[in-house]
Amino acid sequence: MKKFILALSFIIGFSSLNAQTKEELKALQAVKNDSIAVLQGKADAIQGEIDALPGWRLKATGTIGGSVSGFNNWYSKETPNSSVGNFGININAYADLIEDKFFWKNATNINIGWVKFDDKDDDSDSDAYEVSTDVFSLSSLYGYKVSKTFAVSALMEYRSTLVNNFNDPGFLDIGVGGTWTPIENLVVVIHPANYNFVFSSGDSQYDSTFGAKVVADYTKSFKGINLKSNLSVFMSYEGSEYSNYTWTNSFSYTFWKSLGVGFDFGLRKNKQEALNYALDSDPDATFDSIDNDLQSYWLLGLNITLD
């Protein structure tokens, strides 16, 4: 009996000691976490001061996504012997020069995707990767500051494809007006004097027009998270048929060194593009007879960030 009581007392005492030690370790962990948070706050404040210094800011992020699969004698499919693959890349890069009296912001976005479906039982079927997404844009914004948040500015923005039919069509906006920067990471461009040049070949139905240009760009990086959203709108003074907009977004989270996961998507509406596409199947198509459907793309995959 004495041995049982002694053993029970030992177990209770050990459990109490272990619980006490666990609680002490948790309390110590909480103190260390608070200290880390304070140090991180100080580091972020110093980084903010560095970012506010005059000079160049350079950054690039890229997302890579893809998959491949193969089937042999998979009879539940309509094509039991086939191989399928898709691959896509998205690159966002910018080079900004920030000075006391002026700024010069340059940015590019590239999104290209390839897809392959090879029916091995069909000799006439292509086994090559075909371009499924093809987006290319380049912009350059110069502004002379008249106040802390406003500048008179000039913008050049070019949009086209890169792999197939480069510059056919190509959209080039050149305009002047003002740029508003209400907060550090947001740039709003309002240019009431803008000409939208459209380049195309053959019988493509495109017209260049005069109008207003509005661009809103938000870029933010914090705690391994990178955000970029860009809305570019052209409003033609000759009618809504010649207006267009493109909205691109990029999200990434860096979990180890420069590697992380990224998600990119874009939306666009352009009635001139819709009409030109419709004319391939209906030569009598007009602006009034077509549906200007919303265009979109998205990509999810591995992300690489370079500062």
Q: What is the CATH number of the domain that holds 230?
A: 2.40.230
Q: Which of 53, 77, 97 is the last residue of a domain?
A: 53
Q: Do 64 and 44 sit in the same domain of this protein?
A: no
Instruction: Report the C-alpha gap between 214 and 232 in whole angstroms.
Output: 6
215, 157 contact by CB (below 8 A):
yes
Number of compact structural domains in the chain: 2
Q: Do 200 and 259 sit in the same domain of this protein?
A: yes
Q: Do 49 and 196 sit in the same domain of this protein?
A: no
pLDDT given at position 246: 96
Task: Name the band, by pLDDT with cuts 50, 70 and 90, for residue 128.
Answer: confident
pLDDT given at position 32: 67
Q: Do 17 and 105 sit in the same domain of this protein?
A: no
Instruction: Report the C-alpha gap between 251 and 230 in whole angstroms.
Output: 12
pLDDT given at position 47: 59
| Nearest C-alpha neighbor of 144 from the set 103, 89, 201 | 103
Residues 111-124: tens digit of each pLDDT? 999 999 899 898 88
Instruction: Report the C-alpha gap between 8 and 16 in whole angstroms.
Output: 12
Q: Do 201 and 282 sit in the same domain of this protein?
A: yes
Q: Do 64 and 23 sit in the same domain of this protein?
A: no
The pLDDT of residue 269 is above 90: yes
| Nearest C-alpha neighbor of 227 from the set 59, 103, 96, 106 | 59
Q: Do 34 and 65 sit in the same domain of this protein?
A: no
More confident residue, 187 or 204: 187
pLDDT given at position 291: 87
Q: Do 112 and 96 sit in the same domain of this protein?
A: yes
Over its C-alpha atoms, the chain yields an Rg (Å, rounded) of 28
Distance linking the first and last C-alpha atoms of the chain: 72
The token pair at 145 is 């500051």
Q: Do 29 and 78 sit in the same domain of this protein?
A: no
More confident residue, 17 or 73: 73
The token pair at 125 is 């079927």
pLDDT given at position 267: 95
The pLDDT of residue 224 is above 90: no
Q: Which of 53, 68, 88 is the last residue of a domain?
A: 53
Residues of the chain with pLDDT > 70, as a percent, come to: 85
Residues of the chain with pLDDT > 90, as a percent, come to: 52
User: Which residues face 26 on adjacent strands?
Assistant: none
Q: Which of 38, 53, 68 is the last residue of a domain?
A: 53
Instruction: Report the C-alpha gap between 165 and 182 in whole angstroms.
Output: 39
pLDDT given at position 106: 97
Q: Do 125 and 226 sit in the same domain of this protein?
A: yes
Q: Do 12 and 75 sit in the same domain of this protein?
A: no
pLDDT given at position 66: 86
| Nearest C-alpha neighbor of 109 from the set 131, 129, 80, 137 | 137
Task: Name the band, by pLDDT with cuts 50, 70 and 90, for residue 43.
Answer: low
Residues 146-172: tens digit of each pLDDT? 999 999 999 999 999 999 889 999 999
Q: Do 48 and 62 sit in the same domain of this protein?
A: no
Tell the residue number behind the tokens 């009581």, with chain if given: 5
Domain interval for residue 84: 56-306
